[in-house]
Amino acid sequence: MVYGGGRTEQETIVNGTERRSDAAYDLFVDDERDPPRDGRDWTVARSVEEAVALVGARGLPRFISFDHDLGEGGTGQDFARWLVEHCLDGGLAPDFSFYVHSQNPVGAENIRALLDRFKAEYAPPGAGPAGA
């Protein structure tokens, strides 16, 4: 499932400080695969550490595509957990969306369930599933 829509800019909280994202971007988290050629201007993170650094530097992306198994770089679920913790104070933008492209069915479901629960509890009014 893909949730939400797109935006051009967002407010974000980084280390307790509100700031604007430097640009709307789409994040592809995968240690091996390249993002699809679908017209998006993807930013790629090959590990949890790279994904965390990108969010710290650029703010929250408008869309994230997650792989679960990231080799020696942790898991997509580790990054999803970090993202939830990071967003607890500032929340997610109403149009935040994600997709899990992992071939690990259990890991993929764990990421989806974590982010679905977080969106249900912390997303602003009007946010939610936009389609399958």
Q: Which residue has the higher pLDDT, 61 or 7?
A: 61
Question: How does residue 92 score in pLDDT terms, banded at 50, 70 and 90?
Answer: confident
pLDDT in tens, 8-21: 333 333 334 344 45
pTM: 0.76
pLDDT in tens, 30-67: 999 999 999 998 999 999 999 999 999 998 899 999 99
CB burial of residue 89 (10 Å; 0-12, 13-18, 19+):
exposed
Q: Which of 63, 57, 64 is nearest to 12 (CA)?
A: 57
The residue ranges of every structural domain in the chain are 11-36+50-122
- pLDDT value at position 131? 32
Name the average pLDDT for the chain.
79
Q: Which of 38, 30, 11 is nearest to 96 (CA)?
A: 11
What interhelical angle do 76-87 and 105-122 show, nearest 10?
10
